[in-house]
Structure 1
Amino acid sequence: MSELNYNVINEPGGVPIKLWTHGVPLEVEARAQLINMSKLPFVYRWISVMPDVHLGKGATVGSVIPTLGAIVPAAVGVDIGCGMIAARTTLVASDLPDNLAGLRSAIEKAVPHGRSPARGGRDKGAWNTPPEAAESGWSQLVGDFKVITDKYPKLSKTNNLTHLGTLGTGNHFVEVCLDEEDRVWFMLHSGSRGVGNAIGSTFIELAKADMRRWMINLPDMDLAYLPEGSEHFDDYVFAVDWAQRFARTNRTIMMHNVVEAVRSVIAKPFTAEAEAVNCHHNYVNRERHYGKDVLVTRKGAVSAKKGELGIIPGSMGAKSFIVRGLGNEESFHSCSHGAGRVMSRTEARKRITVEEHGKATAHVECRKDADVVDESPAAYKSIDAVMKAQRDLVEIVHTLRQVVCVKG
């Protein structure tokens, strides 16, 4: 089945590119970006492309890039460790209030989100005084952060502790969802926030400087890489691992605060640990494939080892999925991380009206204003088409539909 379920691009001078894109669009620009990546000399065997593929910075979002002896920092990206967490609760739909506005408001108060313009005042998306949960999480991270900042002092001047347990902007969200049996789930999407962005940006620039120093020519300077054994490679691996731990901790703290916020609205006692999933989709990991230990960069892709649970969200008005990996080796045990954009944010703001956004999200308690139209369902691919295209990568365990969505 897998041989029929992907297309292959064989470009002279590059490794094969296997695309799970039957029935979903592939931009010309994204195709060109994939071809550039395929020609790097250290890519192992082939690149696997997920059905939510779209143009990214340097490397294409929705790509799985196995490498031997080098890492491309821009392929990992600047939202290092960005990913999802979901938890099924013991609540059911009938336990939710008839008017969900209060529930949304409680979550918005419990989880800092968005960003205030930098004018010297407090950023609404950061903690003014970090709560105990953030301080506790930071205590597990601060030692290794000092190792990083001793060598790269400017990284100490980032939002780190003040962002631990906060959501951010863009496509990051908190949702209350119902599954096919009307059971209530909480789900959220975020990453390593300001400090992860600073780490990613720092090492992208260092890789570019190394390329210039070594006079290595690339088709796109955002494909600048760090060779294994070099000083920056080792520092980057250490910093990326730290940022991925920050991101995981960030999601755990937010989930705890979401649960407590819902408890402040719903008097009925409930638990929210059943089938909890916490998975990255922008990260690099050491794995063994086809008899070799390789570095696997997943840029907008989720690990889908056989039996492994993952999360594939749709857009603000579309359904999402809890999935179980099928362990497809040809995708390097990976699946998509979402629906994938079909419009850039700029294009979406031009083409999607507030009225259209309101209609598309009529069934969800969420923001309906002009500042979120770039996240409207029309800006994304059909999640049903995406799931069909990767039916040999994952099986669907639960189908979720959101009833509350908090956006930054």
Structure 2
Amino acid sequence: MGKQFLGKGVVPIFGWTEGVQVEDRALGQLRNVARMPFIHHHVAVMPDVHWGMGATIGSVIPTVGAIIPAAVGVDIGCGMMAVKTGVRAVDLPDNLHAIRSDIENAVPHGRTDNGGPNDRGAWSEAPERAANMLSSADSGPSMRTRLEAIVAKHPGISRAAARIGIHVGTLGTGNHFIELCLDENQVVWVMLHSGSRGIGNKIGTYFIERAKQDMQRWFINLPDVDLAYIPEGSTLFDDYVDALHWAQEFAQANRDFMMRSVLAVLGRHFPGKLGHVDEVAVNCHHNYVAKEQHFGKSVWLTRKGAVRAREGDMGIIPGSMGTRSYIVKGKGNVESFCSCSHGAGRAMSRREAIRKISLAEHEAATDGVECKKDASVLDESPAAYKPIEAVMAAQTDLVEIVYELKQLVCVKG
């Protein structure tokens, strides 16, 4: 399927949305973005598109001379990682609860105590390898040193920066997850979804607020206050890009840390069977900014809930916790800015899902998956998401499917 015309501002909006739901308020957000004077060529919309805070999730926004911090969002560098193991279906026990429990014990997840000292989603005492990772300086300043330089210019993020040692290697909340899956060949995969944790959130909210303050100071009227931007050439822009890149790197390292923790659990459950786990390992962002060349210009490309899909790029498109997920290879479709969807996309808000989905419906939808079956995950139940099959059908000219995965175990943040 190909692109569809979804509307126009200063530039047109093209979507790969045939056969999937696109809500009116998401279209309204997209049209507001397309009205901004620094958008280059067009806005691309992925089939998992839905309304989001700041900007539409499932959108690809090329800008020249400015970045909109709220379009990037507060989960900077959020993305996916997947590893193919040597464990096979025949190796699995009939009951997977012990494996789920051990994964939950190995990776802090969720949030309690208002994020305070007893927060179950953070380390009570940071592991030694977390400190080593943050302090490593093999090829330039360490991550900790670089963050200290950012904090020196912007002390408003200092409190969150002080917690990176107990946040690295932790999952977070909401739709972040760790899963064990089976592919078509009955091989077990580990897949996880997370971002830059508290520090990424603080960097995002801090620079969004700074951008809004500048818009007020310069008397700039916007179609939506969340489209406040930072112009290139300013000191604030340089600082924001520096902080963005740091948070994106931290998010990727965070996923790698968690993956090692999960693989250690599997190594204890299946001694000698993990195999060469680097055979297929994908670690890709889907909430980030990159400098790329598109339609004759060097642009700041914001992928807000979208995965880079240049020709040959490996990516991950997860379904909901009771359906299927896909390892894909990009086709390099230039009209999508070489992008694809980052998942199934929400069909209901979290509040609506909690109100409409019953526990019985959730249990039926996650039958065969070792996961929570209580009210705490109703907002993540499969019915809250678009059908992943329809989302994949809408982007056949963006990616090809390499592996199809079925969930066995799901740990939700």
Q: TM-score range by the shorter chain?
A: over 0.9
153-162 vs 325-334, greater mean Cα deviation: 153-162
Deviation at 1:14, TM superposition (A): 2.1
Match of 1:340 in 2: 345
> What amino acid maps onto 2:58 in structure 1?
G
The separation in 2 between residues aligned to 1:373 and 1:320, in whole angstroms, is 19
Unaligned runs of 5+ in 2: 136-141
Q: 1:291 aligns with which of 280, 290, 296?
A: 296
- Asked if 1:142 is matched to 2:138, the reply is no
The secondary structure found in structure 1 opposite 2:319 is coil
Question: Partners in 1 of 2:373 and 2:411 — Cα distance?
Answer: 11
Residue among 74, 78, 97 paired with 2:74 = 78
* CA deviation profile, 1:213-271 (whole Å, cap 9, x unmatched): 11100011100000000111110000000000000000000000000011122234323
How far is 1:291 from its partner? 2.2
**Native 8 Å contact 2:54 2:226 kept in 1:** yes
Aligned-pair distance for 1:120? 4.7
Q: Partner residue of 2:138?
A: none
Gaps of 5+ in 1: none
- Which of the residues 158, 181, 186 maps onto 1:156? 158
Q: Is the 8 A contact 1:80 1:240 kept in 2?
A: yes
One-letter amino acid of the counterpart of residue 389, structure 1: A
Q: How far apart, CA to CA, are the structure 2 residues paired with 1:53 and 1:10? A: 15
Given candidates 238, 254, 260, the residue that maps to 2:242 is: 238
Give the counterpart of 2:404 among 383, 399, 408.
399
The question of whether the paired residues in 2 share the 8 Å contact of 1:87 and 1:275 is answered with yes
For 1:351, the aligned partner's letter is K
Q: Which amino acid aligns with 2:129?
A: A
Q: Is the 8 A contact 1:287 1:295 kept in 2?
A: yes
> C-alpha deviations, 1:196-215, integer Å up to 9, x for none?
00000000000000101111
1:143-186 CA distances to partner (integer Å, 9 max, x unpaired)? 11011100111312113221100001110000000000001100
Measure the CA separation in 2 of the matches of 1:325 and 1:97: 35
Residue 306 of structure 1 corresponds to: 311
Show structure 1 runs of 4+ deviating over 6 A: none
CA RMSD of aligned residues (A): 1.0
Taking structure 2 as the reference length, the TM-score comes to: 0.96
In the alignment, the residues of structure 1 paired with residue 296 and residue 115 of structure 2 have an alpha-carbon distance, to the nearest angstrom, of: 54
Alpha-carbon distance in structure 2 between the residues aligned to 1:58 and 1:38 = 14
The TM-score normalised by the length of structure 1 is 0.97
Equivalent position amino acid for 1:154 in 2 = G
Q: Is the 8 A contact 1:106 1:265 kept in 2?
A: no
**Is it true that 1:357 corresponds to 2:362 in the alignment?**
yes
* Distance in 2 between residues matched to 1:261 and 1:374, nearest whole Å: 28
Please state how far the C-alpha of 1:277 moved relative to its aligned partner: 0.2
TM superposition shift of 1:119 = 7.9
> Identity percentage over the alignment?
58
Question: In the TM superposition, what whole-angstrom CA distance separates every residue of 1:66-93 from its partner, at most 9, and x where no partner exists?
Answer: 0100000000000000000000011111
Please say if 1:185 is aligned against 2:189.
yes
